[in-house]
Structure 1
């Protein structure tokens, strides 16, 4: 059943549709023979702004997510129950000056081994934009300020060094800051990360001694080696032609990738040689997928329904079934 979009969610839909020149997305349908392997594990309330942008898994199988429009961090239990962990303060202008979006979203999220969550909040204001830390059963605190004229989006944690990496989708920069907080450093502002229409640098992952970055505007996934002294190596383009690519993850088979293509409503599997295959689409229940997590043989897909405006959810699939 369709739900009424909040004003902020309508803003997202307007931005995406207006930029891409697309008017609609095919309605989801049931694909024969896939019900047991692919199913929706949790549904969210679109009218309340529960649009999942990024997620990270807990050891018990729970999923911590950022609800971008609602400015919240939430935990989704394995049985589908949702619990709000934090709601961020609304900036004085209501988020109207947040670049691109004109509302204040919670974005990337990662989890440290001690259970501490780190997440991004973008408001277009200097007092709130940045990296926030949420320790178990405590209130969030900002540990690093980021430029108010940017849009911090994806985030990755290098557990070996204790450094956070943040993709700025407007400034075309990857920032880095220790988990202890402090002043961020611009790690790279390579031209391949630049913003031109929707978003530049977007999703981030640490994998195989490198930082991997998706670029929405260029439809690419890039690999940047992590060199000694926290220096970036030579950037390599590892995948192209990924229309409105959002976040991505690795399957556990070398450099094989699963990537979320937001507006086309598809998940693609990308082999190390760049060959890609669509493994999930709207017929499986995708609703503008934003990010993906993999644990073992289970795949979790977050769907924000920014444009479909129907059913933000978490879709669960078996990795072996995504061929």
Structure 2
């Protein structure tokens, strides 16, 4: 059983539990300030396994996305034209998924690949075949990926164990960077099995979302590059997946996967829904922001309908 099937079935149980408790999973309104003009610019082929999991942006405004079960990296222009940049090699046996993606300033793309003995971080460059940068064959469910270009370091989450791994793109060295209860999945019958998920480097800290616990976490990077104490910056973010920072402060736009919404999280931890299924979301998986443009991918893992890329306008 692949880990995305397990996530779909277990998170579906959480949806049922939320409804039973009187929690609304999809608010009945469309885009809310400061977002407006939401528009689906690209629709992907679900029959071809084109379900976007993560996103990174090109300087000209195009988006590079991972189609996780197709093992593909695709580029989508702002007007919705889609081209396949690379397909990662199939594993010797079993299923494989490509998840987190980041772009270095030289145009190199790094992606997380779950593929048994081929699991790890891979590099994708124009004109070159995909190549493995670092092997992580024992990691259960590589998910989010972040790049600290100043220190030439990658950080990857393992959602199954609730850990953060540090990876050198230069020599492929890997080490466990952060773990602990705050990053782990919940225990009990309604756990999805997904703890640490989305990840970003922001203001000398690594920020991580915990899907099961609905939390947004901050882990400072100390002077030696080690992880400091984990603090919780926001709670109550149902099924939070990936996220992105807005501007230079600590405001965040967070994709809430099976809840079918995007939330704006203020620095004090308060949050409100700003995009819903009425805007075109279909289980949003990741968010990116460039200037006043917001990009949201939808993987349609639970709706099984209309995986897409949505763009919205940010007022301030």
The number of equivalent residue pairs is 305
String of CA shifts for 1:38-80, please: whole Å, max 9, x gaps: 1001110011000000010001111100001211111112221
1:284 aligned onto 2:279: yes
String of CA shifts for 1:77-104, please: whole Å, max 9, x gaps: 2221111111122223322xxxxxxxx2
1:108 aligned onto 2:103: no
Supply the distance in 2 between the matched residues of 1:273 and 1:282 (Cα, whole angstroms): 26
Aligned to 1:166: 156
**Aligned Cα root-mean-square deviation (Å):** 2.6
Partners of 2:288 and 2:296 within 8 A in 1: yes
Supply the distance in 1 between the matched residues of 2:72 and 2:241 (Cα, whole angstroms): 20
1:82 aligned onto 2:87: no
Q: Between 21-30 and 189-198, report the one with greater CA deviation.
A: 21-30
1:299 aligned onto 2:289: no
Q: Which among 166, 178, 187 is matched to residue 176 of structure 1?
A: 166
1:118 aligned onto 2:113: no
String of CA shifts for 1:170-225, please: whole Å, max 9, x gaps: 12211111121323111111221113422010000011111000011111000011
Residues 8 and 86 (structure 1), Cα distance of their counterparts in 2 relative to 1, 3 Å cut:
farther
Q: In the TM superposition, what is the alpha-carbon distance from 1:137 to its structure 2 partner?
A: 2.0
Structure 2: segments with no counterpart, 5+ residues: none
Supply the distance in 1 between the matched residues of 2:213 and 2:27 (Cα, whole angstroms): 27
Q: Which among 99, 116, 134 is matched to residue 144 of structure 1?
A: 134
Supply the distance in 1 between the matched residues of 2:25 and 2:205 (Cα, whole angstroms): 36
Partners of 1:28 and 1:285 within 8 A in 2: no
Partners of 2:166 and 2:175 within 8 A in 1: yes
Aligned to 1:190: 180
Aligned to 1:211: 206
TM-score, normalising length: structure 1: 0.87
Residues 245 and 38 (structure 1), Cα distance of their counterparts in 2 relative to 1, 3 Å cut:
same
Residues 146 and 269 (structure 1), Cα distance of their counterparts in 2 relative to 1, 3 Å cut:
same
Supply the distance in 2 between the matched residues of 1:212 and 1:206 (Cα, whole angstroms): 6
Supply the distance in 2 between the matched residues of 1:183 and 1:32 (Cα, whole angstroms): 43
Residues 92 and 33 (structure 1), Cα distance of their counterparts in 2 relative to 1, 3 Å cut:
closer
Supply the distance in 2 between the matched residues of 1:221 and 1:93 (Cα, whole angstroms): 35
Partners of 2:26 and 2:261 within 8 A in 1: no
Q: Which among 301, 310, 314 is matched to residue 305 of structure 2?
A: 310
1:157 aligned onto 2:152: no
Aligned to 2:45: 45
Partners of 2:255 and 2:287 within 8 A in 1: yes
Structure 1: segments with no counterpart, 5+ residues: 1-6, 96-103
Partners of 1:28 and 1:284 within 8 A in 2: no
TM-score, normalising length: structure 2: 0.89
